[in-house]
A and B are shown apart, each in its own frame.
Chain A
Amino acid sequence: MSGVLLWAWALTLPGLVLTGLGVGRRPGSASLAGPGVLLVVAVTWLLGSRTAAELRQVDWLPFLPDGAFHLRGDALAAVMLAVLGFVSLCVYVYSLAYMADEPPAGQRRFFMYLDFFVASMAILVLAGNLAVLLIGWAGVGLASFLLISFWLDRPGTLGAGLQALAANAVGDAALLVAIVLVPAGCGDLLTLQTPACLAVPGGARLTASLLLVAAAAKSAQGPLYFWLPSAMAGPTPISALIHAATMVAAGVYLLVRTNALLAAAPPVAVATAALGVATALGGGLASLQQANFKRGLAYSTVSQLGYMFAGVGFGAPFAAIFHLVTHASFKALLFLSAGVVIHARDGEEELAALGGLRRALPGAYAAFLVGSLALVGLPGLSGALSKDAILDAGEQANLLLAVCLFGGTFLTGLYIGRLFFGVFHGPRPDEQPIHHPSPLLLWPLVPLAVGAVVAGYLEWPAGLLSSALGETAGHAEPVRFASPFGFFAGLLGVFGFALSGWRGREQAAEPVRVGTDAGWVGAVARRGYGLADRLAAIHSGRLGRYALASVFGIAIILLIGLRA
């Protein structure tokens, strides 16, 4: 079984080819088996003897310090693959119905992109060293770009895709530098912290900082958050799978995988925690200001990823992975039930135009409620337990940051309550017709809702998840659940949620606009493109100027060279 785990990344590729060749009565149905088998493989491995497997082809890239083709199938990878298989299977089934209005060629393309994404994400989590990690890292970024820009004829989709590429590029540059600067033989993700591998100027701090930048770019943390809300221009199933459950969590995964390195660089660990807490609070505040349903949820993702970063920074990688697992379930549920609403209203996403849909869409209503309660941390639901683990770790590591994070749970309740009551309660703002969702749209919500309720019990009280993960997610103290701290955080969240309901939908739907999203990104982009245009304008096409520039260029270079 462990050998099969190593090849899990190839499981969706047959589907990609078959869908591309037009196999299957319904476009995309040929791809369905891939994520299903992936889920089975990962779960079977976790339930079995859990023998880790490695594949190592040395000197695949002889010019790198560690250029091996190195895959590692261990418990952390298996847990990530199980999450990936579970959420992607639900999203695939959902997409069959959600994308059914597209022309068949478009549907095929959509499923091929999805297959490519799942394969890349699997390589990312199975990577044994930095070089292989980068294959998956760039692959998921490419898939994300292609899927955000999927609806080419809609305005803004290409721009949103390019924003995602730009943010990713920052992280990729950091990873590239990290790959080449480690000493020869270092690149294995598990041994980056050994003294031999830290023998570079800057040592652990430098390497850990570079990985932190890469992770922050992928997981939309700190100033690099801007691309994720824009990414909502893509189809909603994509928002659920890539921009909520799996790809954006890759940054968290990377930090957990290399948590020993982070532990060797305490200042970077504190920076990670502070970045996470700041993003958790900022994302929550920003969500309150959104006029768009999906963007409101996107900021919630930014905020929850901040919780995971804080967990890693607190020295509790297990808590971060635990929250990653539960979050994947309830956030995918929230997005997919939002998709039901958007689909029923012909693509309407503005909160002002949505409201009172409780009776018309009872399935989506129930699913969104379950997801919301799991998110705010109603004691007993999955989100409560995993957030509790992070807050507990914070209490021991850095009380100030933990208290801020504790306050953040109130924000969580406020913003998700605002979305929930705004969309489902109150009066209908108009009498637009509502399409009733097909069963294919509703069925995938069921397993996700079950996951949102029970995923926490993977760990509490029997500690199944932490014993399965063992050392791969860092050796953490056993998590003491139901501490007063975590319990009150959950109550605070529920209080915020209820408060939103009490304020009523009119106020709730009103966006509190303070400034635009990430104005600095627009400014940087305008400056950059302005500079590029000016530089391109130098190329006037006039031979005389070109000749003069060549002669002077040669003369100047000659002078500089002779003086050196």
Chain B
Amino acid sequence: MSVPPALLSVAILVVGAMVILTLTSRLTRDSTALGTIGMLTLVVAALPSVAGDPLSQIALFSILGAAAIAMLLVPSAELHVTTQRPEVAALVLLGSAGAVVLATAGDLLSAALGLETLSLSAAVLIGLGRGERPLEAAFKYFVLSAITFAALIYGLGLIFLATGSFAWPSLAQVEAAYHWVLLAGVMLFGLGVSYELAVVPLHWGALDVYTAGAPALAGYVMAASKVAAVLALGRLVVGAGAPPPAVLIGIGLLSIVWGTLGALAQRELRRMLAYSAVANAGFLALALGCGAEGRAAAVFYVEIYALTALLVFAALAGRGPGPLGLADVPSEEWGATRALGLALGLLSLAGIPPAPGFWAKLAVLAAAWHAAGWGPTVVAAVGGVAGVLYYLRPLPDVFAAVRADGGGPGLRFPAPAVLLAGAAVVFLGLVPGLAYAIARLAIG
């Protein structure tokens, strides 16, 4: 019996995490060795994707890619206890293992297991951040995730009751045995997964996490959980009949409006990014409810969004304490790489072509027009263009802050992570068709 490639990757990730945890005392002093082991684990874990199907390929590439950028950021992560870097690296690997399981699981039970691994790692990663707020945010995130996880487990039970198995419900099954028990089960399971997406009304915990967590880690949590959740939800709605997609469209539009209004009210960069993450989750949910084209658009969108969010958070990493106002000239000397990285990320999030964020929005709009018609398309288009009002607000200051590289005194600046994410964003902007084609193969 052959081992599925994704499972092999998961095993490698877990082994890597174990190795790091075993060597904690030594790696605390040697950050080069820590980074090497972490990156090596990620590279080896990516190898089995050669033999995988498109779904596991896209899951491995995007989740492990996010983890790689996070791994580059580990040395500059703002931690409460600075000796905990090995634990952070191990948690990134474990969280990635959970995310890969959630995205590629063969049945619902494994998906639930992956989800729990991911969200526990995420909560701890956030809690390790510097200051009081990260701990509070992590606690809220954990408690709220327990509530939605309970719903998910209950949904799992209902699905088992209706179909007698933990397999992903297929369309034939649903139509044959279509009654409210199965439908309720599918919806509860889907809502449990949606928590990772941070759609309204399950976004409360994520808002605090995105705002308060150390930037280096919050970006990773955001990226990995959204990628995994989109892939899992995409597989769930394929065989879910009519009501769940309609519910997703409704939730998506609500999240777009909610996140856009919330972001408009913010005066601080991190909070604005957190609220706008809700609006972006709305685009994802909307796309997931819009048929096969929509599911492809959702995967395309989440690839680009995750990458852009990582770029923005990488550019903010190691910036030093204190909130960053939306209309303040950044007080410290910003390196050119940091400022340009942040600017590129904001442009892409705002949807200024040819930055890839714009192509992603267009793909969702095109799918929404065909599957959902007038109303949702117009709401999403207006919500999408309104993004310029908050995303571009800091831009004049950011450009004005461009100085010769070097950074301020005592700040560790992770240029490699910004350059890696920035290059990927530019590539996706110029060759969007490639990423879209892969997305379409992954979830038809």
Chain A residues proximal to chain B, CB less than 8 Å: 59-65, 67, 106, 109, 131, 134-135, 138-139, 142, 145-146, 149-150, 152, 158, 161-162, 165-166, 168-170, 172-173, 176-177, 179-181, 528-529, 531-533, 535-536, 539, 541, 543, 546-547, 549-554, 557-558, 560-562, 564
Contacts and interface: CB of A to CB of B under 8 A. Distances in A.
Interface in B373-409: 377-378, 381-382, 384-386, 388-389, 392-393, 395-397, 399-400, 402
B111 to A, nearest CB: 18
23 contacts: A61-B359, A61-B433, A63-B296, A63-B297, A65-B366, A131-B362, A134-B353, A138-B358, A158-B393, A161-B396, A176-B362, A177-B365, A180-B365, A181-B369, A535-B262, A539-B207, A546-B204, A550-B147, A554-B188, A557-B251, A561-B246, A561-B247, A562-B183
Interface string B281-317: 0000000000001001100100000000000000000
Given A173-B381, A532-B265, A562-B243, 11 more contacts: A60-B432, A63-B362, A109-B399, A134-B353, A166-B389, A176-B384, A533-B265, A536-B262, A547-B144, A554-B148, A560-B250
Contact of A152 (B297, B329, B381, B432): B329
Contacts of A532: 261-262, 264-265
Nearest to B263: A532
Contacts of B147: 547, 550-551
B140 interface: yes
A150 B396 CA distance: 7
Given A180-B377, A558-B187, A547 B143 contact: yes
A63 B275 contact: no
Given A62-B436, A142-B352, A557-B247, A536 B275 contact: yes
Contact of B385 (A106, A172, A528): A172
Given A547-B144, A557-B251, A561-B243, A162 B382 contact: no
B202 interface: yes
Contact of A549 (B143, B204, B243, B368): B204
Nearest to A538: B262
B196 to A, nearest CB: 14
Report whether over half of chain A's contact residues are helix, strand or loop; otherwise say mixed: helix
A148 B367 CA distance: 35
Contact of A557 (B140, B187, B300, B388): B187
B258 to A, nearest CB: 7
Interface in B110-168: 139-140, 143-144, 147-148, 151
Contacts of B188: 554, 558
Given A543-B143, A554-B191, A561-B183, A135 B353 contact: yes
A536 B390 CA distance: 14
B265 A169 contact: no
B264 A63 contact: no
Interface in B174-196: 180, 183-184, 187-188, 191
Contacts of A177: 365, 369, 377-378, 381
Given A135-B354, A535-B261, A547-B144, A63 B208 contact: no
Contacts of A558: 184, 187-188, 191
B187 A561 contact: yes
Contacts of B205: 546
A176 to B, nearest CB: 5
A529 B165 CA distance: 50
Contacts of B347: 142
Contact of A165 (B151, B202, B358, B392): B392
Interface residues of B, number: 76
A547 B265 CA distance: 23
B392 to A, nearest CB: 6
Contacts of A539: 204, 207, 262
Contacts of A179: 362, 365-366
A138 B191 contact: no
Interface in B183-238: 183-184, 187-188, 191, 200-202, 204-205, 207-208
A543 B265 CA distance: 21
The residue in A63, A64, A150, A180 that gathers the most chain B C-beta atoms within 10 A of its C-beta is A63
Contacts of B384: 173, 176
A139 B300 CA distance: 23
B385 A152 contact: no
- Residue of B208, B381, B382 most packed against chain A (CB within 10 A): B381
Nearest to B388: A165
B244 interface: yes
Nearest to B136: A541
B74 to A, nearest CB: 28
Contact of B367 (A63, A152, A170, A172): A63
Contact of A64 (B204, B246, B275, B362): B362
A65, A138, A158, A162: most-surrounded residue (chain B CB, <10 A): A138
Interface string B313-329: 00000000000000101
Contacts of B264: 528-529, 532
Contacts of B441: none
Nearest to A555: B151
A169 B363 contact: no
A63 B386 CA distance: 22
B266 interface: yes
A165 B369 CA distance: 25
A132 to B, nearest CB: 9
B247 A564 contact: yes
Contacts of A181: 369, 377
Interface string B13-45: 000000000000000000000000000000000
Given A139-B352, A176-B384, A561-B187, A536 B265 contact: yes
A548 to B, nearest CB: 10
Nearest to B258: A535
A437 B184 CA distance: 77
B395 A146 contact: yes
The 8 closest A-B pairs by CB, nearest first: A553-B201, A532-B265, A546-B204, A536-B265, A169-B385, A63-B363, A532-B264, A532-B261
